[in-house]
Amino acid sequence: MREASYYILEKDKKVRCVLCPKQCLISEGKTGGCGVRENSEGKLYTLAYSKPVAIHVDPIEKKPLYHFHPGAQILSIGTYGCNLSCKFCQNFDISQEFEKPDFDRITEVTPEEILKICRDKGYKFVAFTYNEPSVFFEYMIDMAKLCKTEGIKTVMVSNGQINEEPLRELIDCIDAFNIDLKSYNPEFYKKICGGEIETTKQTIKIIVEKGKHLEVTFLLIEGLNDNEQEFHELCRFLASLDKEIVLHISRAFPRYEMDFNPTPLWLLKNFEKIAKLNLKKIYVGNVH
């Protein structure tokens, strides 16, 4: 286990994790809301360091990134854990439904070993994805720094729920981002996802300000986040930062705790039209 970054020691050996806006106060022997950061005797440790549960090679378009080295194959890495609890999570088996003993069964793959895989196989791109990479911050940043030394480009696919200071530490090591903006309604973030929207908006702003490549994904769910006015506001927010931001409007399928119909094609087309009022690069995804 590796000691975590970004925490404060509080009274009675409790620690406060300040990596993400949840700011969990964690008692001795417990983990924070993401399930992968544990207080042991007043020190915070990351359980996910060098413990990936998914390593695959994907087309870069699957992240999705359409305007960053199209056609590239990308080594994609994820661990357990997430700092949101979206009731419609498309990857709930690794983000939500795991237990601490599961970590002991995972084969260790260090950042150095990831670099060796890239060298041996000739991979030029690495993605931190599948679950929320912020929760394995230390593993991600060590991998990204090593990749940079050999000219390998890195990508973070994230919900954007990371505090400003760690984001600014990370951002210079990462070449491109896909950020989920799940709704423009703060109540949706709170009630359906267990998070808050402002940090994700701040993350998007900082990525744009730093001139990094950014694509945004909006997962459209009929009856849940299909308010046209709110979506119009979301697009206006992105356009106010940069009209060239790429927006993916993705079709949702029922998963985890929510039962709903797969997003109808007419609704996706309708939202595409709304997005075109403010943005130039819009793609409808998850459809054949």
Chain contacts with ligand SF4 (rule: CB under 6 A): 17, 19-20, 22-24, 32-34, 37, 83, 135
Q: CB nearer to ligand SF4: give 201 or 248.
A: 201
Neighbours of 116 (CB within 10 A): 13
Reference 84, options 3, 164, 197, 6; nearest CA is 197
Residues whose CB is less than 8 angstroms from the CB of residue 81 and which lie 6 or more positions away in sequence, other chains included? 34, 35, 36, 47, 48, 94, 95, 98, 131, 132, 135, 136
Determine the length of the chain.
Answer: 288
Backbone angles phi, psi at 192, to 5 degrees: -95, -30
* Least CB distance to ligand SF4 at residue 33 (A): 4
Q: CB nearer to ligand SF4: give 24 or 181.
A: 24
Backbone angles phi, psi at 201, to 5 degrees: -65, -40
CB 77 within 8 A of CB 50: no
Q: CB nearer to ligand SF4: give 83 or 95.
A: 83
Give the separation between CA 191 and CA 266, rounded to whole angstroms.
27
* Least CB distance to ligand SF4 at residue 53 (A): 17
* Least CB distance to ligand SF4 at residue 236 (A): 29
Q: CB nearer to ligand SF4: give 83 or 263.
A: 83
* Least CB distance to ligand SF4 at residue 137 (A): 8
C-alpha distance from residue 268 to each of 94, 121, 218, 236, 285 (Å): 28, 38, 11, 18, 9
* Least CB distance to ligand SF4 at residue 226 (A): 28
CB nearest ligand SF4: which residue?
32
Q: CB nearer to ligand SF4: give 17 or 126.
A: 17
Give the separation between CA 28 and CA 20, rounded to whole angstroms.
19
Q: CB nearer to ligand SF4: give 20 or 127.
A: 20
* Least CB distance to ligand SF4 at residue 74 (A): 25
Give the separation between CA 22 and CA 84, rounded to whole angstroms.
9
